[in-house]
Amino acid sequence: MSKKIVIAAPRGWCAGVDRAVEIVEKALSKHGAPVYVRKQIVHNLHVVRNLEAKGAIFVDSEAQIPEGSVCVLSAHGSAPAVYANAKAKNLKLIDATCPLVTKVHVEAQRFSKQGKTIVLIGHEGHEEVEGTFGQAPDRTIVVENAEEAAKVQLDDPGNVAFVSQTTLSVDEAMSVVGALRKRFPLITGPTKDDICYASQNRQTAVRKIAGLADLVLVVGSTNSSNSNRLVEVAREAGAESHLVENETGIDQRWIDRAETIGISSGASTPEVLVDRVIDFLASKGIVEIEEVRVATEDIRFPLPASVS
């Protein structure tokens, strides 16, 4: 029996990533190089290197940017302190925060004004979590999993709200929310789920192909939260799964023991990297491909007025 590939759809770039990359390219076209970008614009090194080649300079902090320069804020969102620091340095600020992350920031601000303690479900140290935490740092506690949720101690347990990192596993987030509701029956949450549509769609598609495949390769960067979640979803669905940056990360032994190979990619992964993985497998004689689609995405977010 010949080996085959099943490829997940949707996969790869989401509307927020597409918008963020276009913002940097438009800023370079409008202002010329250099354009400074605070943090990786999206979590994919291939994308970052391409933008660097066009004149973008990536920095860890707004403090590293020369006064008066053009500065793009990454798609993951930033704390209010970052905007204040940028204003003090007279930076020409262009905000590439994903609108779905901005929605979570607005929720955190609203809960803070209501005097609630905010439980932020997410991964400590992730840039998106840092940006959301910064909306109300004195009122926010980060919880990573259901075990932590079952133990968290709050001063006012009757006045609590939760928000979530947008790129979590849906199942993971639901388990944490369940644990929080058990501890704090009066807890309130967002009116609409914080997990973004793209993360949900990609997880659903990966779960579907994992049921058909022995091996699932997720193309994405190691610091990409949503890519890591796809690997977890595939494994939970019963398939062997690995995260690879590109075809060079594929171990031949994985291929040897698989009859059907599933492929997906994180929301910050350009399709060219998926094509390289498919070409690599084709060079091994695996040319039969079936696409498994669970949703069609036609969402597009408008660009900020400063670059449109």
Q: Give the residue extent of every domain in the chain.
A: 4-13+196-293, 15-97, 100-183
Report the C-alpha gap between 14 and 199 in whole angstroms.
Answer: 9
126's CB contacts (< 8 A; 6+ apart) are 76, 165, 225
Give the per-residue pLDDT at 2. Answer: 87
Report the C-alpha gap between 101 and 175 in whole angstroms.
Answer: 21
Catalytic residue among 62, 128, 130, 172: 128
Give the per-residue pLDDT at 194. Answer: 92
Contact 268, 220 (CB under 8 A): yes
CB atoms within 10 A of CB 250: 19
Give the per-residue pLDDT at 308. Answer: 83
* Peptide bond between residue 34 and the one before it cis (omega within 30 degrees of 0): yes
Which portions of the chain are predicted below pLDDT 50? Answer: none
Are domains 15-97 and 100-183 of this chain identical in fold? no
pLDDT digits (tens, 9 = 90+) for 15-25: 999 999 999 99
Q: Give whole-number Cα distances, 260 to 25, 74, 209, in Å.
A: 38, 37, 10
**Which amino acid would we find at residue 1?**
M
Angle between helices 99-113 and 15-31 (to 10 degrees): 100
Indicate the fold that domain 4-13+196-293 takes in CATH. Answer: Cobalt-precorrin-4 Transmethylase; domain 1 (3.40.1010)
Give the per-residue pLDDT at 1. Answer: 64
Q: How open is the CA angle 58-63-66, to the nearest 5 degrees?
A: 75
Indicate the fold that domain 100-183 takes in CATH. Answer: Cobalt-precorrin-4 Transmethylase; domain 1 (3.40.1010)
Tokens coding 92: 């020409």
**Which amino acid would we find at residue 60?**
D
Indicate the fold that domain 15-97 takes in CATH. Answer: Rossmann fold (3.40.50)
pLDDT digits (tens, 9 = 90+) for 14-71: 999 999 999 999 999 999 999 999 999 999 999 999 999 999 999 999 999 999 999 9
Active site residue 128: yes
Q: Hey, which residues does 8 pair with through a beta bridge?
A: 292
Exposed, middle or buried, 171 (CB in 10 Å: 0-12/13-18/19+)?
middle
Give the per-residue pLDDT at 193. Answer: 87
